[in-house]
Amino acid sequence: MANVEVRRVGRHDFVAENDRGASVRLGRSGAEGAFSPVELLLAAAAGCAVVTAETLVTRRVGEGGLVARARDVRPEGAHELDAIPITLDYDTSALDDEQLAALDQVVRRAVEQLCTVTRTLKKAPPAPLTLPGPVPPGPVPPG
């Protein structure tokens, strides 16, 4: 099981760290030298797809130039994403049409079946929030 802790280190400045000691800075959108939470979500989606596809792709096209990109698709000012399109890019010039179609099929199937992040995003699981202190009775006041 993976665990990540995000600790405040300054005003609008945070560090996320995993159990293995890896860390990444995060902050508000536009913060210099930091990822925003949405950018981390995009990185997770693209990263999961590229990690899942890496062996399948490099075995067929070689080691060079495997890149994954994810985009933030939402209306201006919205506070939820409408989509997270992911693009994998690699050199297919050495493949004929049949090889390219076979690679496309195996990569799509692997990402759809094995990529935990994109599978989770499609499922939209709950993300309960726990706060310190007693739980107030009744509905939560708007905030």
* pLDDT at residue number 138: 65
Q: One digit per residue, pLDDT tens: the chain, 143 residues? A: 889 999 999 999 999 999 999 999 999 988 899 999 999 999 999 999 999 999 999 999 988 889 999 999 999 989 999 999 999 999 999 999 999 999 999 999 999 999 999 999 999 889 999 899 876 666 666 65
What residue ranges do the domains of the chain occupy?
1-35, 37-123
E strand or H helix at 50: helix 37-61
pTM, full prediction: 0.86
CA distance 85 to 72: 8
CATH code, 37-123: 3.30.300.20
In a 3-state reduction of DSSP, which class is residue 73?
Answer: strand
Q: How many CB atoms neighbour CB 102 within 10 A?
A: 13
